[in-house]
């Protein structure tokens, strides 16, 4: 029986090659998109799940409040004392590990000197949490002693070549500290939320020269330590979360905090599951950039939409050609075939077509995956689809998709009455036509939604790249600043500025593109006394050259100047701070008394608002101060765009003159700004690709459907031509029904697209509007594409000789 079904299915596919090609090609493209997106989804959802105790590991995060229940900051890292304190306070915590990224770390071995950007301090418990294979050394002892280091094979080979690295030493921080290599470990998997290549012993931080044991025990202000907790298997962490406010009140006390304010009202600890970090954590100072569960949902929906469009094509074309198979069905019924046997026959054809499409889709997926990886900056692998659960799903896919796409045509065609069929009395009912119209409307509704989404994403990306930031980001070179340069800085600056291609140079604790995270208690003069402000006022430490280097505009007052010694205690603020502090205008803010971190000074200048952070964030109140209490992390140099290479060469030569033991690495600020929107750019490219594919598949189905429909109307076309109808009139007559369907699809798609994209734009504090013209444009594009698709067949039919179509009459 099954063999007979398959033989009939193959025979029918050969009998109608054009329709079969459209169905197979459409399903192949649709299934390929699904497989590619499935590989992406599997990769995104697999983050941090390869570790042995992944489901029992949690990360501690910290929230700060600027007012009652007003969250101003949510950090993914916490202060160093919290790890040991939590373990002592809650006996259910089995182990704690802390990780401290070390930023740019210059390491030397003999004549090899490199800047390492993936070095962290980690303790002896690290491998109990992150179960990486250790190739050499003892995972539990290699990081126990101070001044020991572990590294990946690639890093070890870079420094030591093929020699055994164990017990060799590398020099850190201008040859001040000697670290002994005690272990080699396999690199972190790609699907991990962090990827350090060098692990330095956490116990090294107890050395007062490095950090200090007292600081580790008492410093609640330095929230740079990523702290992980290991719980018993299946432990309910809510039991501990409910006790964290009391824990904070007991152990943490801030100097100068009013007695009626409790610690948990100012700050809060939360516990976050390790496997949720990549997709569900978008906190300040993530150790690396994360993914987004919303993006996973979006692309899952796109995959289903594309597959649905392909299935709709099959339904439409199968029901459209039902008249061609009416006699076959009638004869089968006369010969005794039951309805369920006919249904099985049509479903077998559908499943067979889907099987062929799936095989071709697998081949196509393997071929295009490298290109998709290039566009999306991902590391997707076909291997992720080889899990037994996925393989079983793929084996079942032809049956699921085949039945979904074939069930309606099978039920419809098996319902034909043999008497009517064999007498030639069969008429394709209006109900069938209506259902096909619904399917066409659904296809083009999805296509129009994707066109609008692609347009809005593209416009927003253009907006963030072209919007004035309030300063000049072009040709600003930035590099890590080291305190080793402090005493020689003026000489270094003087030598650099001798090159006329270098316009300005300045230092700061942070640079634009970074997050504004630093703040201290601020007070302003009110009613004759200094009163705490209710505003969350962030700060950055700058020198005299920072504002000129970035070309920021002064709205009132002046920049810091060495001609005014009191400027070391004075402040500059931005316009957002003026508004937040209630000073009405920038001019009114000048000479106002302000105390920041208990150092009293005056406002000497106001800079116009500028976008320090990405356009995802609002412009927040900001204060500039000279480094009386702060320090510098970054060096910025403004370069003449006509002599970039000459300027870089001068900076590098001068750097090596003053800092021979520190490698010179740099980047340009505009590159860092582009990186802020990298995920949106990748999303936009993929949106464009999948939108084009969806529209293509929809048009493919429309092409086949229109070809078949026009074929059924060749005699009508012949009569119209004989009666004097022109070719444009015939084309219009044949196209108008389909064009009406596209218009209906547009009306349905517009509100859905508006709601979806408006929700997406909310993620940007500054964004474009969704103008009415976007919807009109999308509708026109859909109409034009549909008309061009239909016109090919319409014009061909209109040009045909009416004698050929009317000869049999």
Nearest to 538 by CA among 597, 592, 588: 597
Tens-place pLDDT, residues 761-780? 888 888 888 888 999 998 88
Q: What phi and psi, each to the nearest 5 degrees, are found at residue 366?
A: -60, -35
Task: Write down the H helix ranges in 541-628.
Answer: 546-550, 575-580, 586-589
Round to whole Å and give the CA distance between 707 and 751: 32
Residue 331: pLDDT band with limits 50, 70, 90: low
DSSP state of 174: T
Q: Is 426 helix (H, G, I), strand (E, B) or coil?
A: coil
Averaged pLDDT, 791-796: 71
| Encoded tokens for 402 | 């085949």
Round to whole Å and give the CA distance between 59 and 224: 13
Q: Which helix (DSSP H) or strand (DSSP E) does residue 535 occupy? A: none
Averaged pLDDT, 294-320: 79
pLDDT value for 429: 45
pLDDT of 2 strictly over 60: no
Residue 4: pLDDT band with limits 50, 70, 90: low
pLDDT value for 400: 79
Long-range pairs for 416-421: beta carbons < 8 A, 24 or more residues apart: 416/322, 416/326, 416/329, 416/330, 416/333, 418/329, 418/330, 418/331, 418/333, 418/334, 421/326, 421/327, 421/329, 421/330
Give the other-Cβ count within 10 Å of 565's Cβ: 8
| Angle between the N-to-C axes of helices 727-761 and 772-799, in degrees from 0 to 180, rounded to the nearest 10 | 150
E-assigned strand segments in 341-485:
476-480
Task: Write down the H helix ranges in 100-188.
Answer: 126-129, 153-160
End-to-end CA distance of the chain: 42
pLDDT of 798 strictly over 90: no
Q: What phi and psi, each to the nearest 5 degrees, are found at residue 261?
A: -105, 125
Check residues 246 and 683 and name the one with the higher pLDDT.
Answer: 246
| Angle between the N-to-C axes of helices 293-320 and 388-414, in degrees from 0 to 180, rounded to the nearest 10 | 30
Which of 295-299, 456-460, 717-721 shows the lowest per-residue confidence on average (mean pLDDT)?
Answer: 717-721
Nearest to 720 by CA among 783, 797, 776: 797
pLDDT of 418 strictly over 90: no
DSSP state of 602: E
Tens-place pLDDT, residues 362-399? 899 888 888 878 777 777 777 777 777 777 877 887 78
Residue 206: pLDDT band with limits 50, 70, 90: very high
Q: 250: number of CA atoms within 13 Å, CB side?
A: 10
pTM: 0.82
Q: Which helix (DSSP H) or strand (DSSP E) does residue 466 occupy? A: helix 430-466
Round to whole Å and give the CA distance between 151 and 183: 7
E-assigned strand segments in 521-639:
522-526, 529-532, 538-541, 554-557, 571-574, 593-596, 599-607, 622-625, 634-639
pLDDT of 430 strictly over 50: no
Residue written as token pair 């294979």? 133
Q: Is 155 helix (H, G, I), strand (E, B) or coil?
A: helix
Residue 383 class from Cβ within 10 Å (0-12 exposed, 13-18 middle, 19+ buried)?
exposed
| Encoded tokens for 91 | 């006996």
pLDDT of 343 strictly over 90: no
Round to whole Å and give the CA distance between 592 and 602: 5
pLDDT value for 441: 85
Bridge pairing between strands 119-122 and 198-201: parallel
Exposure b/e, 592-627, CB count within 10 A at least 16 = b: bebbbeeeebbbbbbbebbbbbbbeeebbbbbbbbe
Residue 345 class from Cβ within 10 Å (0-12 exposed, 13-18 middle, 19+ buried)?
buried
Q: How far is CA 190 from the centre of its chain?
A: 16
Residue 57: pLDDT band with limits 50, 70, 90: very high
Exposure b/e, 240-271, CB count within 10 A at least 16 = b: beeebeebbeeebeeeeeeeeeebbbebbbeb
Nearest to 115 by CA among 106, 127, 103: 106
Check residues 451 and 424 and name the one with the higher pLDDT.
Answer: 451
What's the length of the chain?
809
Is residue 324 a contact partner of residue 138, using CB atoms and an 8 Å limit?
A: no
Check residues 616 and 428 and name the one with the higher pLDDT.
Answer: 616
DSSP state of 475: T
Tens-place pLDDT, residues 460-511? 888 887 888 888 888 999 998 988 888 899 999 999 999 989 999 999 999 9
pLDDT value for 126: 96
Residues contacting residue 520 through CB under 8 Å, at least 6 positions apart: 539, 596, 597
Percentage of the chain modeled with pLDDT above 90: 34
Print the SS3 string covering 519-530.
Answer: ECCEEEEECCEE
Is residue 534 a contact partner of residue 66, using CB atoms and an 8 Å limit?
A: yes
Round to whole Å and give the CA distance between 752 and 747: 10
Residue 416: pLDDT band with limits 50, 70, 90: low
| Angle between the N-to-C axes of helices 339-376 and 2-15, in degrees from 0 to 180, rounded to the nearest 10 | 60
Classify the phi-psi angles of 163: left when phi > 0, otherwise alpha if psi is within -120 to 50, otherwise beta.
beta
Residue 432: pLDDT band with limits 50, 70, 90: very low
Tens-place pLDDT, residues 744-764? 989 999 999 999 899 888 888
Classify the phi-psi angles of 175: left when phi > 0, otherwise alpha if psi is within -120 to 50, otherwise beta.
left
Check residues 742 and 196 and name the one with the higher pLDDT.
Answer: 196
Q: What phi and psi, each to the nearest 5 degrees, are found at residue 597?
A: 60, 35
DSSP state of 543: -
Check residues 150 and 333 and name the one with the higher pLDDT.
Answer: 150
Is residue 473 a contact partner of residue 669, using CB atoms and an 8 Å limit?
A: yes
Q: How far is CA 270 from the centre of its chain?
A: 24
Round to whole Å and give the CA distance between 477 and 548: 14
Q: Maximum CA pair distance of the chain? A: 107
């Amino acid at each position: 029986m099954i063999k007979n079904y398959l033989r009939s299915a193959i025979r029918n596919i050969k009998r109608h090659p054009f329709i079969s090609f459209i169905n197979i090609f459409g399903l192949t493209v649709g299934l390929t998109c699904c497989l590619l997106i499935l590989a992406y989804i599997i990769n995104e959802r697999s983050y941090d799940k390869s570790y042995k105790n992944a489901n029992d590991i949690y990360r501690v995060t910290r929230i700060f409040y600027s007012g009652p229940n007003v969250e101003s900051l949510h950090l993914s890292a916490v202060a160093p004392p919290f790890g040991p304190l939590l373990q002592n306070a809650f006996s259910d915590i089995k182990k704690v590990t802390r990780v401290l990224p070390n930023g740019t770390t210059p390491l030397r071995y003999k004549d090899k000197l490199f800047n390492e950007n993936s070095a962290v301090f980690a303790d002896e418990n690290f491998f109990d949490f992150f179960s990486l294979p250790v190739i050499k050394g003892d995972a539990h002892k290699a990081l126990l002693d101070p001044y020991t280091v572990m590294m990946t094979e690639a890093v070890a080979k870079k420094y030591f070549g093929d020699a055994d690295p164990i017990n060799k030493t590398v020099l850190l921080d201008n040859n001040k500290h000697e670290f002994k290599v005690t272990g080699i470990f396999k690199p972190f998997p790609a699907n991990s939320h962090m990827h350090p290549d060098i692990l330095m012993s956490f116990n090294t931080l107890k050395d007062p020269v490095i950090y200090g044991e007292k600081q580790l025990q008492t410093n609640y202000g330095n929230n740079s330590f990523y702290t992980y907790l290991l719980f018993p298997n299946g432990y309910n962490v809510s039991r501990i979360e409910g006790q964290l406010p009391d824990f904070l009140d007991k152990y943490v006390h801030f100097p100068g905090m009013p007695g009626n304010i409790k610690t948990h009202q100012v700050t809060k600890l939360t516990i976050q599951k390790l496997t949720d970090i990549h997709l569900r954590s978008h906190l300040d100072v993530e150790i690396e950039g994360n993914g987004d569960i919303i993006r996973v949902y979006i692309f899952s929906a796109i995959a289903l939409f594309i597959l649905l469009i392909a299935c709709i094509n099959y339904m439409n074309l199968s029901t459209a050609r039902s008249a061609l198979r009416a006699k076959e069905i009638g004869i089968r019924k006369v010969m005794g075939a039951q309805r369920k046997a006919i249904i099985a026959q049509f479903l077998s054809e559908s499943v067979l077509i889907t099987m062929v499409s799936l095989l071709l889709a697998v081949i196509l997926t393997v071929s295009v995956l490298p290109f998709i990886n290039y566009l999306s900056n991902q590391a997707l692998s076909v291997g992720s689809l080889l899990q037994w659960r996925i393989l079983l799903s793929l084996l079942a896919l032809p049956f699921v998709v085949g039945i979904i796409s074939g069930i309606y045509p099978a039920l419809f065609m098996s319902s034909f009455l043999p008497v009517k069929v064999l007498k030639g009395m069969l008429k394709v009912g209006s109900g069938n036509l209506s259902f096909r119209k619904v399917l066409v409307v659904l296809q083009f509704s999805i296509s129009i939604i994707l066109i609008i989404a692609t347009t809005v994403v593209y416009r927003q990306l253009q907006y963030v790249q072209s919007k004035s930031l309030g300063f000049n980001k072009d040709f600003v070179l930035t590099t890590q600043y080291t305190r080793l340069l402090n005493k020689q800085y003026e000489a270094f600056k003087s030598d650099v500025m001798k090159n006329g291609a270098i316009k300005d140079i300045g230092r700061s604790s942070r640079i634009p593109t970074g997050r504004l995270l630093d703040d201290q208690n601020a007070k302003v003069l009110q009613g004759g006394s200094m009163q705490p402000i209710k505003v969350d006022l962030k700060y950055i430490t700058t020198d005299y050259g920072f504002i000129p280097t970035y070309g920021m505009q002064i709205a009132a007052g002046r920049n810091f100047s060495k001609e005014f010694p009191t400027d070391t205690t004075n402040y500059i603020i931005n316009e957002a701070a003026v508004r937040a502090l209630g000073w009405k205008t920038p001019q009114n803010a000048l000479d106002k008394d302000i105390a920041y971190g208990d150092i009293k000074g005056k406002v000497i200048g106001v800079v116009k608002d500028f976008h320090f952070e990405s356009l995802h964030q609002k412009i927040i109140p900001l204060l500039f101060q000279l480094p009386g209490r702060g320090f510098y992390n970054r060096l910025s140099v403004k370069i003449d765009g006509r002599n970039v290479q000459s300027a870089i060469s001068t900076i590098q030569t001068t750097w090596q003159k003053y800092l021979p033991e520190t490698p010179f690495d740099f980047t340009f600020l505009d590159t860092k700004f582009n990186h802020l929107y990298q995920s949106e750019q990748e999303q936009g490219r993929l949106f464009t690709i999948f939108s084009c594919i969806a529209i293509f598949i929809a048009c493919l189905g429309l092409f086949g459907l229109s070809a078949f429909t026009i074929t059924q109307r060749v005699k009508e076309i012949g009569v119209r031509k004989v009666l004097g109808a022109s070719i444009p009139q015939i084309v219009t007559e044949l196209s108008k029904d389909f064009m009406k369907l596209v218009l209906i699809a547009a009306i349905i798609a517009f509100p859905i697209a508006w709601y979806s994209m408006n929700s997406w734009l909310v993620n940007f504090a500054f964004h474009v509007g969704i103008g009415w013209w976007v919807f009109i444009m999308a509708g026109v594009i859909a109409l034009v594409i549909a008309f061009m698709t239909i016109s090919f067949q319409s014009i061909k039919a209109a040009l045909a000789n009416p004698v050929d179509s009317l000869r049999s009459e």
